[in-house]
Amino acid sequence: MVIMSRPTVAIVGRPNVGKSLLFNRLAERKNAAIVEDTPGVTRDRIYAEAEWRGRVFDLIDTGGIEPKTDNEILRFMREQAYIAIDNADVVILVTDVKTGVTAADADVASMLKRSKKPVVLCVNKIDTPGDPPAEFYEFYNLGMGDPVGVSAMHGYGTGDLLDRCFEYFPEETDEFDEREGMLKVAVIGKPNAGKSSLINRVTGEERVIVSNIPGTTRDAVDSIVRRGEDSFLFIDTAGIRKQSKVIEDIEKFSVMRAVMAIERADVCILMIDARDGVTDQDTKIAGLAHDSGKAVIIAVNKWDLIEKETSTQAEFEKKIRVDLAYMTYAPVMFISAKTGLRVENLFAEIKKVAAANSFRATTGMLNTILADATARVQPPTDKGRRLKVYYMTQVGIKPPTFVCFCNDAKLFHYSYLRYLENRLRDAYDFTGTPIKMIVRQRGEKE
């Protein structure tokens, strides 16, 4: 598909000036970024697609910049904002009219001047229309040109703000948007399983915050990763905590967003911490991907930290197969995001399981498999009445979905349906993907 080249707009500023609320307003996506009256809630760069005056552009929300801090999280947030600025065509510096110009605002403005990027100064929280308050004119002291007064809460002034950004958009050129054809990969798992470390390893940059503090990544973050002629869109999800620990609204949003990331993905990489093995939490997270019909790879991370004997890996995989009995189709890989052990092997596996998830079989071949299967193992009977399976057809992909037409659906025992699924897996390589089997009784409306 040919589209116009996309400009990129980064929203920056010190914590708690309303960046995420403005992001949601400009993107017109409710809760696209986590919004809460707590400084430092948005920790990573968050992306959205937006449109103004017929031009589609990418919007980046960033964690608040604290220019001088020893706090580990705030320092990482500042580094993330720097990366966002480097990638932007124009930067919106958000300030707060209610607090006036602060030393932190001045420091951020100074840093932006050094970046040489076009900057639009936004003075937020002007919540009544009409002439701006006297405090508004104080922001001229930042030396960033004419400020634009807005209310992210009510939407006042956002059109003027976008008009100013539009002036800095690069000229339109035709180019292919390769994201249209990219495989989308969601990295899922409980907090501190190594999801962000894996993203940073495959992208080769400090793409998301990595810390030994569980639950550091709160939002889903997208990264484009290229390997040879192939491009992948990696989605790093907020670690899904146990429901009993989901107390803050922030955590509830994060769980919801992880589910949304799974829905967006073609392939899910389920990260398991090798030191913990499969926990109840891992089982629940795996279930989310399974129920969504996604292709899945189980990545046992931190394998470099495990003392090994001859059969350590085989024994570990055997236990995974027991603990995740409903996901026997998923390949298991033993990796270390920290050292890079077998990480590059993931890409071939991603392509393989995605292909299986999208595979479509011919009806003729399916009925040859069905005839052979029913000849080997007779369909079950009940009270002298035998199940007859007339034919099978594939009605969908992602996941591969098959319908079996029969004489009486009540006779179609679950175990026989599983038997037919196994025969399909013997005939085709469905590694990494669940299969959906539907029973229809002849004469039943489809």
Q: What is the CATH number of the domain that holds 20?
A: 3.40.50.300
Nearest to 117 by CA among 141, 144, 86: 86
Q: Is residue 336 part of a domain?
A: yes
Answer with the one of 149, 176, 203 that is the final residue of a domain: 176
Question: How do residues 113-148 score in pLDDT, each as one tens digit?
Answer: 988 899 999 999 998 888 889 999 999 999 999 999
More confident residue, 78 or 332: 332
Q: How confident is the model at residue 177 (pLDDT cuts 50, 70, 90)?
A: low
Q: How confident is the model at residue 258 (pLDDT cuts 50, 70, 90)?
A: low
More confident residue, 178 or 367: 367
Answer with the one of 146, 176, 206 that is the final residue of a domain: 176
- Is the same domain home to 206 and 313? yes
- Is the same domain home to 215 and 344? yes
More confident residue, 63 or 419: 419
- Is the same domain home to 298 and 392? no
- Is the same domain home to 256 and 113? no
Q: Is residue 446 part of a domain?
A: no
- Is the same domain home to 103 and 232? no
Angle separating helix axes 280-291 and 249-264, nearest 10 degrees: 50
Q: Is residue 269 part of a domain?
A: yes
Q: Residue 235's pLDDT is what?
A: 82
Q: Residue 67's pLDDT is what?
A: 64
- Is the same domain home to 161 and 271? no
Single-letter code of the amino acid located at 233: L
Q: Residue 35's pLDDT is what?
A: 44
Q: How far is CA 228 from the centre of its chain?
A: 23
More confident residue, 76 or 189: 189
When pLDDT is averaged across residues 407-426 and rounded to a whole number, the result is 94
When pLDDT is averaged across residues 392-417 and rounded to a whole number, the result is 94
Question: How do residues 184-233 score in pLDDT, each as one tens digit?
Answer: 999 998 888 888 889 889 988 655 544 444 444 444 457 888 898 898 98
Question: How do residues 232-250 score in pLDDT, each as one tens digit?
Answer: 988 866 544 444 444 444 4
Taking all residues of the chain, what is their mean pLDDT, rounded to a whole number?
83
| DSSP helix/strand/coil, 80 | helix
- Please give the Cα distance from 424 to 415 (Å, whole number): 14
Q: Is residue 62 part of a domain?
A: yes
Answer with the one of 120, 146, 176 that is the final residue of a domain: 176
* H runs (alpha helix) in 167-203: 195-203
- Is the same domain home to 43 and 183? no
Look-up of token digits 């009219």: 97
Strands (E), 347-400: 381-382, 385-386, 389-396
Q: How confident is the model at residue 444 (pLDDT cuts 50, 70, 90)?
A: low
- Is the same domain home to 183 and 131? no
- Is the same domain home to 133 and 223? no
Q: Is residue 421 part of a domain?
A: yes
How many other CB atoms sit within 10 Å of the CB of residue 206? 15
Residue 446 pLDDT greater than 60, yes or no: no
With b for 16 or more beta-carbon neighbours within 10 A and e for fewer, the 75-90 pattern comes to ebbbebbbbbbeebbb
Q: What is the pTM of this model?
A: 0.61
- Is the same domain home to 148 and 203? no
* Phi and psi at residue 180, to the nearest 5°: -60, -35
- Is the same domain home to 184 and 291? yes
Residue 81 pLDDT greater than 90, yes or no: no
Question: How do residues 268-281 score in pLDDT, each as one tens digit?
Answer: 999 999 999 999 88
- Is the same domain home to 184 and 332? yes
Residue 287 pLDDT greater than 80, yes or no: yes
Q: Residue 244's pLDDT is what?
A: 46
Nearest to 108 by CA among 203, 234, 11: 11
Residue 286 pLDDT greater than 70, yes or no: yes
Q: Residue 213's pLDDT is what?
A: 45
Q: What is the CATH number of the domain that holds 397?
A: 3.30.300.20
Task: Work out how many domains the chain is built from and give that number.
Answer: 3
Q: Residue 246's pLDDT is what?
A: 41
More confident residue, 384 or 350: 350
Concatenating the DSSP letter of every residue in 94-152 gives EEETTT-S-HHHHHHHHHHHHHT--EEEEEE---SSSSPPGGGGGGGGGSSSS-EE--T
Contacts of 100 (CB under 8 A, 6+ apart): 135, 138
CA angle 105, 126, 164 (to 5 degrees): 70
Q: Residue 255's pLDDT is what?
A: 52
User: Environment class of residue 314 by beta-carbon count within 10 Å: exposed (0-12), middle (13-18) or buried (19+)?
Assistant: exposed
- Please give the Cα distance from 440 to 446 (Å, whole number): 8
Q: Residue 99's pLDDT is what?
A: 94
Question: How do residues 15-70 score in pLDDT, each as one tens digit?
Answer: 889 988 899 889 875 444 444 444 444 444 466 778 899 888 888 887 667 666 66
Q: Is residue 167 part of a domain?
A: yes
Residue range(s) defining the domain that contains residue 398: 363-441
Q: Is residue 106 part of a domain?
A: yes
